[in-house]
């Protein structure tokens, strides 16, 4: 399987085929999950100091914080796959 990379804002690139789920950061369960992962040292902040707009849960148990919305990431993924086809 090839690794599919996608730009998630501010010069950051992510292996999108390792993402299990994307969620907005404002729900209480998401906030708890982010705090638990941060305490374990498995949080990756790719916001570059900006507001978190998406929380990406990876298959490795890591959580990635992104500075662009989940809808934008999904749109970039769709566009990327259309170009490849």
Instruction: For 49-68, write each residue's pLDDT tens digit.
Output: 999 999 999 999 999 999 99
Q: Are the CB atoms for 57 and 42 separated by under 8 Å? A: no
Q: Is the pLDDT of residue 85 over 70?
A: no
Domain count, the chain: 1
- Burial 40-73, CB ≥16 within 10 A → b, else e: eeebeebbeeeebbbbbbbeeeebbbbbbebeeb
Instruction: For 37-54, write each residue's pLDDT tens digit.
Output: 999 999 999 999 999 999
Domain that holds residue 68: 5-84
Q: Is the pLDDT of residue 77 over 90?
A: no
DSSP 55: E
Higher pLDDT, residue 82 or 13: 13
Q: Is the pLDDT of residue 80 over 80?
A: no
| CA nearest to 37, candidates 49, 53, 48, 25 | 25
């Amino acid at each position: 399987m090839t690794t599919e990379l996608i730009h998630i804002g501010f010069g950051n690139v992510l292996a999108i085929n390792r993402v299990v789920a994307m969620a907005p950061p404002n729900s209480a369960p998401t906030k708890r999950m982010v705090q638990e992962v941060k305490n374990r040292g498995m949080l990756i902040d790719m916001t570059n100091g900006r507001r978190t707009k998406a929380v990406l849960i990876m298959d490795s148990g890591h959580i990635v914080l992104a500075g662009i919305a989940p809808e934008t990431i999904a749109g970039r993924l769709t566009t990327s796959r259309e170009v490849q086809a």
